[in-house]
Amino acid sequence: MNRSALFATAFGLLALPAAACAASPTLGTYVGGGLAIQDVDGFDDGTAVNLRGAAALPGVLADGVPGALSVEGELTRTLTSPERDLPSGRTVDLDITTLGGYGVYTFPVQRLMLRGRLGLLYEHISANGGDDDNNLELSLGFGAGVMVTQRLEVAASYTYIENDVDHLGANVLYHF
C-alpha cells in the first residue's frame, strides 16, 4: 500500500467517529486522559497517568438550570513514585492506583467548563512493592477546562483522594 492510500485510510478511520456524532457535542459526555502530580504528605511528589470517561444524565436538572450532570469513571496509576528517604538510609517508594466513580456537575461559561465532582474511590497503595493498603473513601474534586475546538477540551483539576493524598492534574477531553 502506498503512502497516499495509507494516509487516506488512516484519515477515514479517524473521521468515522466524528462523523457518527451529532453536529454539536453533548455537554457532560466525554473521554480523555492526562497526567497528575501525586502529592503525598511527607513524600516527594510523584506523577500518575489517568484515564476518564463520563456520560451525561439528560433530564436530571430542572428546566432552566444551566449545565449538566454526568456519571464519571476515572482510573489513575503511578508513573513515577512518590518517595521518602528514611533516617536509616532506606528509601520508601509508593505505587498508587485509584479507581473512582463520581457524580459530576459541569457549568459552561462560553468556552470555559467549570466542574465539581463527588464520589467513591477505591485506592490501592503499595510501598516498595510490598506493604499493601486498600481503602474505599469518599473523594471530591473540582476543575476548569477550555474548549479548544467544538469537541476538544484542555482541563486542569484537583482531586482529594484522602487526608494525605491529592492529585493535581491536566487532561485532554474529547466530547461526544
Residue 93 placed within a domain: yes
Q: Name the grid cell of 22.
A: 451529532
Domain count, the chain: 1
Q: How confident is the model at residue 116 (pLDDT cuts 50, 70, 90)?
A: very high
Residue 108 placed within a domain: yes
Q: What residues make up the domain containing 131?
A: 26-175
What pLDDT is attached to residue 31? 98
Integer-rounded Cα Rg, in Å, for the chain is 19
Mean pLDDT of 26-53: 96
**Listed ranges 56-60, 131-135, 156-160; the one with the highest mean pLDDT:** 156-160
Give the DSSP H/E element, type plus range, for residue 8.
helix 3-20
Instruction: Give the angle 148-139-159 at the CA atoms, nearest 5°.
Output: 40
Residue 82 placed within a domain: yes
What pLDDT is attached to residue 94? 96
Residue 5 placed within a domain: no
CA distance 79 to 92: 15
Mean pLDDT of 78-107: 95
- Residue-averaged pLDDT of the chain: 88
pLDDT surpasses 50 at 111: yes
What pLDDT is attached to residue 24? 64
Q: Percent of the chain at pLDDT above 70? A: 86
Residue 2 placed within a domain: no
Residue 1 placed within a domain: no
What pLDDT is attached to residue 129? 64
Mean pLDDT of 97-120: 97
Q: What is the tens place of the pLDDT at every residue in 8-22?
A: 444 444 443 444 444
Mean pLDDT of 111-134: 93
- Read off the CATH number of the domain in which 42 is found: 2.40.160.20
CA distance 45 to 83: 7
DSSP label of 110: T
Residue 9 placed within a domain: no
What pLDDT is attached to residue 97? 96
Residue 53 placed within a domain: yes
